[in-house]
Amino acid sequence: MRETEHTSILTNAVLNNTVRHSAPFFAQPKTKQLRVKTRLVSALKKKNFNRDSALQELRENGGQVDLYFKKCGILKKKYLPVRRSNIRIERMESLRELGFAFIEHCDYSVDSAHLFEIAYAPETLAKMIGQHHFYPPTLKYPNGRSAYDCVLNALYDYEASGQIVVVRQFDEKAGINKASRLFLAPKFFEMLGVNRAEMLNLLRELKRVKGLQGKVSASNAYHEKQFTRRRSNDRVADVQRSDIKKILRNIRADIMTGLVTPAPQVAEKVKPGRLADYDTKGVPEAQLTNAQTLGRFKSSMAPAAYHLEKMKVDMLELSFDDAQKRLIESLRPLLQ
């Protein structure tokens, strides 16, 4: 069935004089599939991407994708522009075939360290769907160059719409990007028409079948081996950052319990010396920090100058922390 569809796509392209160098196609395995995979594959075959609410919102409003942190600490981002609502046929084919690869190589075991992790990097997925091209070596690229822009753009759409999570990392020593790690988000199944309750039943059925077949221990050993291998591999992106671990925990919690821990509200870090450090209007004296107390003191320069001159000799012999404490203790009567 899938081979017939692929042949018809190529035939129509030839008739319309729009031959593509790498038409996407993912070959489904001939072996018997798990019920969770067959359910998702059948839903993806019927899916109309022009009615995908997440993709439509992305194309109407634009979006952004967090790539990686540079050496200086700046987060490099990729901004996706506003586009027309109708998706081009070429992009739709890439999204569909990439979705088939996601479903086939996704980890559905609830006992694994990371639920819904895809076992391959984007470059390998591009080879699977036939959209990977290798350019021969040149003066600029002595080792050749791999190109799979169609797959990367489809991944950006999936990620910016919240349907997948991509963990990237840049190796500063080697000067190259590490292999990315991909995870399916609950919104991916929601856009296929598979709600949380149905997905949870499919995962429970998969675990029950493994238990009846006596494959639970072998499956756990396999996932432990894969977890150890990826964690010790320097060429694979690390998922041990606190923000990434929070996202992965929410993916499991959303499917298993329907409860998602809200992201913590991170306060803006203000550098010492800025006015925001000393904005203590209306704050009780007992709740002030040392820096805020010093800031309130600096607002009245006359007593400050007097006490600084008086304590200058003694404070030179003390450490910075002890001098700061002594100065605050001597100035508290003036601030009350």
Classify each residue of 233-263 as buried b or exposed e, where b means 16 or more C-beta atoms within 10 Å of its C-beta: eeebbebeeeebeeebebbbebbeeeeeeee
* Pair 39, 143 in one domain: yes
In a domain, 10, yes or no: no
Tokens of 334: 């003036």
* Pair 305, 242 in one domain: no
Measured CA to CA, the distance from residue 55 to residue 69 in angstroms comes to 26
In a domain, 4, yes or no: no
Residues 193, 43 contacting (CB under 8 angstroms): yes
* Pair 109, 238 in one domain: yes
Q: Which of 130, 133, 153, 152 lies closest to 144 in space, CA to CA?
A: 133
Residues 28, 40 contacting (CB under 8 angstroms): no
* Pair 152, 299 in one domain: no
* Pair 297, 240 in one domain: no
Alpha-carbon distances of 324 from 42, 165, 311, rounded to whole Å: 69, 47, 11
pTM of the model: 0.69
What is the DSSP-derived secondary structure letter of residue 88? P
* Pair 39, 172 in one domain: yes
In a domain, 261, yes or no: no
Q: CA quadruple 249, 250, 251, 254: dihedral positive or negative?
A: positive
- As for how many domains the chain has, the answer is 2
Q: Which of 199, 222, 256 is the last residue before a domain boundary?
A: 256
Residues 178, 237 contacting (CB under 8 angstroms): yes
* Pair 153, 198 in one domain: yes
Q: Which long-range contacts (CB under 8 A, 24 or more apart) does 115-121 make?
A: 115/183, 115/248, 115/251, 115/252, 115/255, 116/183, 116/184, 116/185, 116/251, 116/255, 117/181, 117/182, 117/183, 118/181, 118/182, 118/183, 118/184, 119/226, 121/179, 121/180, 121/181, 121/182
Q: Which of 152, 250, 143 lies closest to 196 in space, CA to CA?
A: 250
At residue 238, the 3 state secondary structure works out as: coil
* Pair 247, 296 in one domain: no
Measured CA to CA, the distance from residue 49 to residue 51 in angstroms comes to 5
* Pair 206, 92 in one domain: yes
Question: What is the per-residue pLDDT across 185-199, written as a single tens digit (0 to 9) for each?
Answer: 999 999 999 988 899
DSSP labels, 120-172: S-HHHHHHHTT--EEEPP-SS-TT-EEE-HHHHHHHHHHHHTTSEEEE--EET
* Pair 100, 193 in one domain: yes
* Pair 201, 306 in one domain: no
Measured CA to CA, the distance from residue 236 to residue 118 in angstroms comes to 13
Residues 101, 129 contacting (CB under 8 angstroms): yes
Q: CA quadruple 138, 141, 143, 149: dihedral positive or negative?
A: negative
Question: What is the per-residue pLDDT across 273-289, written as a single tens digit (0 to 9) for each?
Answer: 444 444 445 555 555 55
For residue 323, what are the domain limits?
A: 275-335
* Pair 26, 144 in one domain: yes
In a domain, 1, yes or no: no
pLDDT digits (tens), the chain, 336 positions: 555 555 444 444 444 444 456 688 888 887 778 889 999 999 999 999 999 999 999 999 999 998 877 767 778 888 999 999 899 999 999 999 999 999 999 988 887 788 898 988 899 999 999 998 889 999 888 888 889 999 999 999 999 999 999 998 888 777 778 888 899 999 999 999 998 889 989 988 888 887 767 766 676 676 666 666 666 677 888 787 788 888 888 888 888 775 444 444 444 443 444 444 444 455 555 555 555 555 555 554 444 454 555 554 454 455 656 766 776 777 666 655
Q: Which of 256, 288, 321 is the last residue before a domain boundary?
A: 256
